[in-house]
Structure 1
Amino acid sequence: MARLVPNLPFDEFIEEDIDPTSSNRNAKAEVSWGTNPEGFALMAACGDDEGAAETVIDGRSIGAFTHALLSCLEQGSPRGTLVNYLTLCDQVARLLKETQLNLKNPKVSGHDRLLFYSSSEPLPWIYRSRTEGNKIIVPAGKMHGVHPRSEFMLIHPIPKIIISIKEAHDFDCSARISPETEQMLKNRECTGIPSRWSLEESTLRVLINGDFGERFEESLFESLQSRIASPIEVIRVGETDERDSNLLLLEKGEDGTHIMGPESLIGYSGPIRGIQLKDNDIKRLTQDAAIALSHLTRFNQILNLQPRVSKKPPPFEVTLKINTEKECSPDEPPYEMVIENKSDDVLYFTVMSFGPGFNIKQLWPSGHSMEVGRGAQKEFAFNIYISHELQGIQLSDGAATHRDILRTIVTTHSIAWTSLELPHVWEAHLMCPNLLVKSSRDAEFSEPKKKHEMWVHDIRILTSAEPPNRNI
């Protein structure tokens, strides 16, 4: 007998209360079924080379995939935490494994980041974690820039409980919970969002230059403290013998307050582009400044995760091809990346885009890491777009140059990297726990069972808005 699935609370919530569309990617893969289809997703019970499996429930034989899918859907979803096809497929696979029905592996193809039964792609900042006794295990670790003292706020099933990370491993971390919280969770999955980031052993030092006043300093310190779990120093430029060019700087100008930083982080000299800090209310001004400063700090933290990579020579090759033909169609992507596995083992590839708006997006593939067999190669085409907030910016010596960094992450086991994603700096307020009412993408990962290796390869692309020259 066919079984109809009624609307779940989050189905109605999508239509009524929120717009879950994520920010646009600056670098975007070519639209095609194989790489980055738009508006279509297919979830199947198994691969095309696998057979179907059945299970017996209440004396009836039914499809194992169908039963697991219905079980996941019937659990519902907390208000504001919507599930996409990729995450739902992972949940179904995990449930099949727990019930020892992992003889087949559910697959999702196409635009796998679409919200289930929707046409929008959500934002990326919700972690689905698991509980083990008096611990909550968060699926992100040092390789994702998560360190002890980082904090997450639970939003389901127990809202507004802050957990502080005590132990951080490469790909997961854990926090202890009280007996009362343990009893309420009862080894169920829980959902949380980042609340405060830890900088490991570093101190966040921010310079301020201008007549801001003591009230401003105190308010800025408090606002930063609500977002960063490491020591913080707010320093006036005059209080140091020499201005440190490696620090973030708040400077008061005639047209508002500007943020500046080291060129290694910002990509250029001068104020941060795309944001304007103008408010006569000190509290609102310092909150906006702290949101941008903590966002840039997190961006810099992810940008500098490279020291954790393997010391072994990289067993792969990454080549960027640029189509410079003048007769090239305007719709034809001018860039193509070719990835070749030169090892005797299977490798897993993910390409992340670090955009000029200090946003981080997974460029390729759209879902989990791409498996590339030994001696094999993959290629994909993509384009680079300039966000509306950055268009038309001119410097005294010509057009502004915008930096994109394409980071290829290579591992020997399948790892998910979506939890590294960040919005544009002018959208950073969406990540604040007290403001995060939109949906967000679940961050899932597969913990490697064996010792793994990891390599990182960066390509920097400089794009000039006027004229449209592209230089490597």
Structure 2
Amino acid sequence: MATRTTPKRFALLIGVDFYQRGESRQTQESQPISLQSLQGCVNDVRDMEGFLTARFGLNDPYILTSSPSSKPNIPQELPQKLPTYKNIEGSFAKIYDDARPGDLFFFYFSGHGARLRPIGASPAGRQTDPSLMPMDYCCGQPAVRGWELNNWLRRLYRKKVQIIVGLDSCYSGGSWRDGVIIRTPDNWEPPPNLPIDEMGKTEDGEMHGTFCDSNSRDSDLDESWDINPTDFTLMAACKRNQTAEERPIDGQMRGVFTYYLVSYLRQNLRRMVAYRTVCDHIRNQVNAQTPQVYGQDRLAFFSNKEPPYPVPIIINVEGKDAVLPIGRLHGVKVGAEFMTYPQPLNVPLSIYQVDELKCRAKIGQGLASNLRSNSEVYSSRWSADKTVKIGVDQSLGCEFWKLLHVTLQNRIAGRIEVSEGTEVDSFMLRKRGHDGVDVVGPKSLVGYDGVVHGLDIHDQHPEELATKSALALAHLFRFQQVLDLRNEASKEPASFHVILEHDTSRIQLLSGEKVQDDTRLRLSYENRGDTTLFFTFLVLSPGFHVRQLYPRTDSPEAVPVLCDISLKTLELPDIWDTDQDPGEGTSGPERHATMISDLTWWVEDIEIWTERLVLAGESHGSSVQVSRCSS
């Protein structure tokens, strides 16, 4: 099947307000089972449809909704537009037939979810199947069980379709929410299954849930969903055992998660925003539920690409302080500055206090109010605790020197010396040709003698030439700060052991060894103590690129229950991609962190050298950093 030149976007949006009543589903005591109708799910779908049309020009999404009408037990919509099991299954089949490799598919569900008794095809060992509830479930039709949803999604994935799932629905066991009052029914049991529940089902996944009251959409993403591999991106309205609410907003009932999701995406209509950034923003807006993102959280919303650098940080406001969830563990020093975004704020925040996992900046009352609704900040000036020395080739001229110094001061907070010549362990700029500049060393940072590889700095205008040079130097300065974390880590003996070895031969690699490109390596680690350790794996590449490889996301399973700790703020792009503007298609996030009263962290640095066979004599270093913290 041919690949499209331009990927096509497909969307299936389901909103179930009206649930039909029937006699087919009954309790053990032969009492009819019914699902309380909701009020905001159809509005959620309309809001999502409006955004997809405005942002992506998606004019023909598959939409299934049920709205109450004046006729008893009959919805407003035409039969073929209703969110019945048959129509949901049929929509997946049509999308599968139409989709091509490289296309994107967004599945969105707003409505009830429930824990149901497993059937014969359910994965072994499951006590319940979490399920999405179509409008006709109580009339004797099947539910969409989680493992069945997996089957449908996997078919698309095997067709090389990029998959995004959004769930503003309810499946936690037993809690009903009505406003702020929680009621838990006593002795409630999922209803017995019917023969139709077994028909045509084949095993491949899992699920679970409970019946919900009118203003409740509980959400519980269990491992049994199995829709959290690299193949998918899943956004859920809340954590396990939390409730996802709907409430009156702007005069209409809406799901809280969907409202803030769509509102944020509309505010950033022309920007690429990553899923993890969106979730961080929503978390800052709601208290009763904590949105979650699983799978490929780095990708931009409804895209197969990652937003470029820089990484936005979601802050909290505490009195007259802006609190950023990054600290010494992230290489932050007093004097570092962060810029608010978007317009019209653009106010610098200067850090006055740095702890292990967070830092603080003073703000005025007016800015505090703005930051509560616009909580993104970007790093604008990293702080130097010692003089940054730059040597400049005399042939570049005094004007270039002055321009470079001014531009560097806009990028680095601290003392900067620009002078003729160079010193050991400092940077040197050399003139190249008529309008170019080469950046040299220091070897302790770059890893080799001579010009920094991959850079092509040139411009006929001195101002632009100085700006491009300063961008590269500031990038290298920040990269050095990341490397220096190994010097600030605990000097106490670590209670863990790390081994990097060839994947096939299992021969251990020592720091400084050389391997060829595309070599498969195995990293293993062992906790030899009795303290819980939290493991982060960073790769520092030859392009001065920093990337967190493990955990792949900031999902709860990768961090302790007492705190969420992320090192993704350490991430940097390749040095040749460092001139990105926060206002133009950039995004990516930082997770919130909670201070641990007793924190020890270590860095184990393993450096390997990768060699290309095609270019004799050329080698590129790649440093792997392993960071652990214990509570």
Shorter-chain TM-score bucket reads 0.7 to 0.9
Distance 2:358 2:557 in 1: 22
1:250 aligns with 2:429: yes
Whichever residue aligns with residue 55 of structure 1, its letter is R
- What are the Cα deviations for residues 189-231 of structure 1, in whole angstroms up to 9, with x where unaligned? 51111111111x2111100123111111111111111111111
SS class of match (1:166): strand
Trace 1:11-160 onto structure 2 (pairs within 5 A).
Answer: 15=56, 39-40=162-163, 51=173, 53-57=175-179, 60-63=214-217, 64-65=243-244, 67-77=255-265, 78-79=267-268, 83-89=273-279, 98-99=287-288, 107-123=292-308, 124-156=310-342, 158-160=344-346
Match of 1:174?
360
SS class of match (1:447): coil
Distance 1:222 1:470 in 2: 32
Whichever residue aligns with residue 175 of structure 1, its letter is A
Whichever residue aligns with residue 163 of structure 1, its letter is L
Match of 1:271?
451
Offset of 1:273 from its aligned partner?
0.6
**Number of matched residues?**
397
Q: Answer yes or no: is the 8 Å Cα contact 2:486–2:604 preserved in 1.
A: no
Match of 2:113?
none
SS class of match (1:207): strand
Q: Answer yes or no: is the 8 Å Cα contact 1:131–1:188 preserved in 2.
A: no
The runs of 5 or more residues in structure 2 that have no matched partner are 1-16, 18-40, 58-153, 155-159, 181-212, 218-242, 246-254, 506-515, 623-631
Offset of 1:13 from its aligned partner?
7.4
Match of 2:6?
none
Q: Answer yes or no: is the 8 Å Cα contact 1:348–1:413 preserved in 2.
A: no
Offset of 1:39 from its aligned partner?
4.1
- What are the Cα deviations for residues 360-411 of structure 1, in whole angstroms up to 9, with x where unaligned? 11122211288689xxxxxxxxxxxxxxxxxxxxxxxxxxxxxxxxxxxx99
Whichever residue aligns with residue 422 of structure 1, its letter is L
SS class of match (1:443): coil
- What are the Cα deviations for residues 238-277 of structure 1, in whole angstroms up to 9, with x where unaligned? xxxxx41200000123473210012110011110111122
Distance 2:420 2:517 in 1: 50
Measured at CA, do residues 183 and 91 of structure 1 come closer, stay the same or move farther in structure 2, by a change above 3 Å?
Answer: closer
Measured at CA, do residues 106 and 442 of structure 1 come closer, stay the same or move farther in structure 2, by a change above 3 Å?
Answer: closer
Match of 2:572?
422
Offset of 1:130 from its aligned partner?
1.5
Match of 2:376?
191
TM-score (norm 2): 0.56
SS class of match (2:312): strand
SS class of match (2:390): strand
Match of 2:239?
none
SS class of match (2:445): helix
Which of the two has higher C-alpha Rg? 2
Whichever residue aligns with residue 151 of structure 1, its letter is E
Relative contact order, higher structure (CA 8 A, sep 6+): 1
Q: Answer yes or no: is the 8 Å Cα contact 1:55–1:61 preserved in 2.
A: yes
1:361 aligns with 2:547: yes
Distance 1:219 1:331 in 2: 40
Offset of 1:70 from its aligned partner?
2.3
Match of 1:462 among 584, 609, 612: 609
Q: Answer yes or no: is the 8 Å Cα contact 1:130–1:137 preserved in 2.
A: yes
Distance 2:458 2:346 in 1: 31
Distance 2:614 2:55 in 1: 41
Measured at CA, do residues 308 and 445 of structure 1 come closer, stay the same or move farther in structure 2, by a change above 3 Å?
Answer: farther
Distance 2:500 2:431 in 1: 41
Q: Answer yes or no: is the 8 Å Cα contact 1:68–1:95 preserved in 2.
A: no
Whichever residue aligns with residue 216 of structure 2, its letter is I
Trace 1:403-422 onto structure 2 (pairs within 5 A).
Answer: 414-422=564-572
Measured at CA, do residues 89 and 127 of structure 1 come closer, stay the same or move farther in structure 2, by a change above 3 Å?
Answer: closer
The sequence identity of aligned pairs, in percent, is 28
Q: Answer yes or no: is the 8 Å Cα contact 1:205–1:232 preserved in 2.
A: yes
SS class of match (2:589): strand
Match of 1:442?
589
The runs of 5 or more residues in structure 1 that have no matched partner are 17-32, 238-242, 374-409
Match of 1:204 among 369, 388, 406: 388
Distance 2:544 2:382 in 1: 17
TM-score (norm 1): 0.73
Measured at CA, do residues 51 and 115 of structure 1 come closer, stay the same or move farther in structure 2, by a change above 3 Å?
Answer: farther
Match of 2:234?
none
Offset of 1:440 from its aligned partner?
0.9
Whichever residue aligns with residue 61 of structure 1, its letter is N
Match of 2:411 among 227, 234, 245: 227
- What are the Cα deviations for residues 135-178 of structure 1, in whole angstroms up to 9, with x where unaligned? 21122112212222211111147531222122222211111122
Distance 2:411 2:576 in 1: 16
- What are the Cα deviations for residues 416-458 of structure 1, in whole angstroms up to 9, with x where unaligned? 011100111111101x55xx41121011132234312211111
SS class of match (1:367): coil
Trace 1:319-358 onto structure 2 (pairs within 5 A).
Answer: 319-323=499-503, 334-358=520-544
SS class of match (2:439): strand
Distance 2:358 2:592 in 1: 9
Distance 2:522 2:586 in 1: 32
SS class of match (2:458): coil
1:6 aligns with 2:47: yes
Offset of 1:337 from its aligned partner?
1.3
Measured at CA, do residues 460 and 369 of structure 1 come closer, stay the same or move farther in structure 2, by a change above 3 Å?
Answer: farther
Distance 2:545 2:597 in 1: 32
Distance 1:276 1:163 in 2: 32
Match of 1:397?
none
Distance 1:109 1:418 in 2: 16
Trace 1:370-389 onto structure 2 (pairs within 5 A).
Answer: none
